[in-house]
Amino acid sequence: MSQTSQISSPSLIATVREWAEMIKIEHTVFALPFALSGLILAVKGLPDFATVLWTVIAFAGARCAAMTLNRLIDAEIDARNPRTKERAIPAGRISKKQAWFLALASFLVMILAASMLPRICLYLSPVAVAWLSLYSFTKRFTWVCHFVLGIALGGAALGGWVAAGGSLSAATPWYLALAVSTWVAGFDIIYALQDIEIDKAEKLFSIPSRFGTGRALQISSGLHVLTALALLAVGWCSGLGFIYFGGVCVVAGILVYEHLLLKPNDLSKLDAAFFNMNGILSISTFCVILADHLVRHLL
């Protein structure tokens, strides 16, 4: 191996890691399983490979664009926040020009993938672009920003449903979207607990900075109760069986445990509550939906 290739390979790996960290690729585990859940619930058997592939590509493009835009729009604020000042854009490791290119290219990928799915997906893609672009600005004027993010990810579940079924006339996808929206808004409130002081200093809006830690945790808990109820409604509307409802009990237990990890005067386990528990919850929900679906329709 030449010296050039020995140098370039680690450099390429480092670059890929930098971009993957900027868009928090590991957080895809939060929403992609719900997009795939919508896809599965919309069909009687299993969706064809092409539909799954284009749905995943559309989701990946949308999420990459949204995260990159968020990093771009918040770059100056991130530079003044001790927790985020070492992110790639404020630290200068990724230029704003490069990030803008990635965001625009990702939106184009999303639209291209949407064009390969039922026509309604292409028609709704401008709505997705507008909503995903709006989110990063909302913290500048309203504490309901958490709900804007929740609805954005709830749209992933709706997107999965229309990708396979092409219609939003049924109740199931809306209950699934409600479950995702309240779940995401609830854990985003938890995540925002880290930045109460910087939000106040920067005159940014969030539920924790507006209502305080204790009340924020109560609001998050209430939203997660709605999540469990909405998941029960998904099962009832879709005629799902004991596997699914048993899984919802597990999911409810995960949500309870997540909130037991946090106390108003002790947020030391916030990372575990935010990433570990929510990643397990998302994957668990998808697995029980898939298992119940396979038992009812294919076995």
Which letter does DSSP use for residue 273 in this model? I
Under 8 Å between Cβ of 245 and 228: no
Per-residue pLDDT of 245-259, as tens digits, reads 999 999 999 999 888
Under 8 Å between Cβ of 221 and 190: no
In whole angstroms, what is the distance from residue 139 CA to residue 148 CA?
10
pLDDT at 264: 84
Q: Is the pLDDT confidence value at 222 over 60? A: yes
In whole angstroms, what is the distance from residue 164 CA to residue 168 CA?
11
In whole angstroms, what is the distance from residue 182 CA to residue 160 CA?
18
Q: Is the pLDDT confidence value at 21 over 50? A: yes
CB atoms within 10 A of CB 66: 25
Q: Span 7-297: which CATH code?
A: 1.10.357.140
Give percent above pLDDT 70 in the chain. Answer: 92
* Inter-CA distances, 111 with 6, 67, 155, Å: 38, 17, 15
Which residues touch 43 (CB under 8 Å, ≥6 apart)?
164, 165
263: helix, strand or coil? strand
pLDDT at 26: 64
The predicted model gives 76-103 an average pLDDT of 91
Give percent above pLDDT 90 in the chain. Answer: 69
pLDDT confidence bin for 27, thresholds 50/70/90 = low
In whole angstroms, what is the distance from residue 270 CA to residue 6 CA?
40
Residue type (1 letter), 207: I
pLDDT at 38: 93
How buried is 291 (Cβ within 10 angstroms: 0-12 exposed, 13-18 middle, 19+ buried)?
Answer: middle
Better-predicted residue by pLDDT, 192 or 275 = 192
Q: Is the pLDDT confidence value at 193 over 90? A: yes
Place of tokens 């999911």: 251
Q: Is the pLDDT confidence value at 86 over 70? A: yes
Under 8 Å between Cβ of 40 and 290: yes
Supply angle C-alpha 102, 163, 133, rounded to 5: 35
pLDDT at 4: 47
Supply angle C-alpha 186, 109, 101, rounded to 5: 90
Under 8 Å between Cβ of 161 and 38: yes
Average per-residue pLDDT for the chain: 89
Range name among 44-53, 88-97, 127-136, 289-298 with the lowest pLDDT average: 289-298
Range name among 3-17, 134-148, 214-228 with the lowest pLDDT average: 3-17
Which letter does DSSP use for residue 170 in this model? S
pLDDT at 30: 73
Domain boundaries, the chain: 7-297
Q: Is the pLDDT confidence value at 74 over 70? A: yes
The predicted model gives 116-140 an average pLDDT of 93
Q: Is the pLDDT confidence value at 29 over 90? A: no
pLDDT at 7: 43
- Residue 134: alpha-carbon gap to chain centroid: 15
Which residues touch 36 (CB under 8 Å, ≥6 apart)?
52, 55, 56, 160, 286
pLDDT at 181: 97
Residues forming beta bridges with residue 266, ordered by sequence position = 263
pLDDT at 129: 93
In whole angstroms, what is the distance from residue 294 CA to residue 110 CA?
29
* Inter-CA distances, 19 with 26, 70, 94, 175, 288, Å: 12, 14, 8, 34, 32
Per-residue pLDDT of 158-173, as tens digits, reads 999 999 987 888 999 9
pTM of the model: 0.90
